[in-house]
Amino acid sequence: MKLHGYFRSSASYRVRIALNLKGLSAEHLSHHLRKGEQRAPAYLAINPQGFVPTLQAGGSVNLTQSLAIIEWLDETHPLPPLLPKDPLRRAQVRAFAQVIACDTHPIQNLKVLARLRELGLSEEQVTGWAAWANREGLAVCEKLIALEAGPFCFGDAPTIADLCLVPQLANARRFGVDVAVFPRLLQAEAAAKALKAFADAAPERQADAE
pLDDT per residue as tens digits for the range 154-210: 999 999 999 999 999 999 999 999 999 999 999 999 999 999 999 999 999 999 999
Q: Please state, in angstroms and rounded to a whole number, the distance separating the CA atoms of residues 148 and 92.
A: 11
Handedness of CA 90, 70, 151, 135 (dihedral sign): negative
pLDDT per residue as tens digits for the range 110-119: 999 999 999 9
Same domain, 125 and 35: no
Residue 203 lies in a domain: no
Give pLDDT, residue 113.
Answer: 97
- Interval 121-143 mean pLDDT: 98
* pLDDT for 39 beyond 90: yes
Residue 208 lies in a domain: no
State pTM to two decimals.
0.96
Same domain, 92 and 193: yes
**Local confidence band at 61 (pLDDT 50, 70, 90 cut-offs):** confident
CATH number, position 132: 1.20.1050.10
Give exposure, 106-121, as e/b (b: 16+ Cβ within 10 Å): ebbbeeebeebeeeee
- Interval 69-84 mean pLDDT: 98
Same domain, 119 and 161: yes
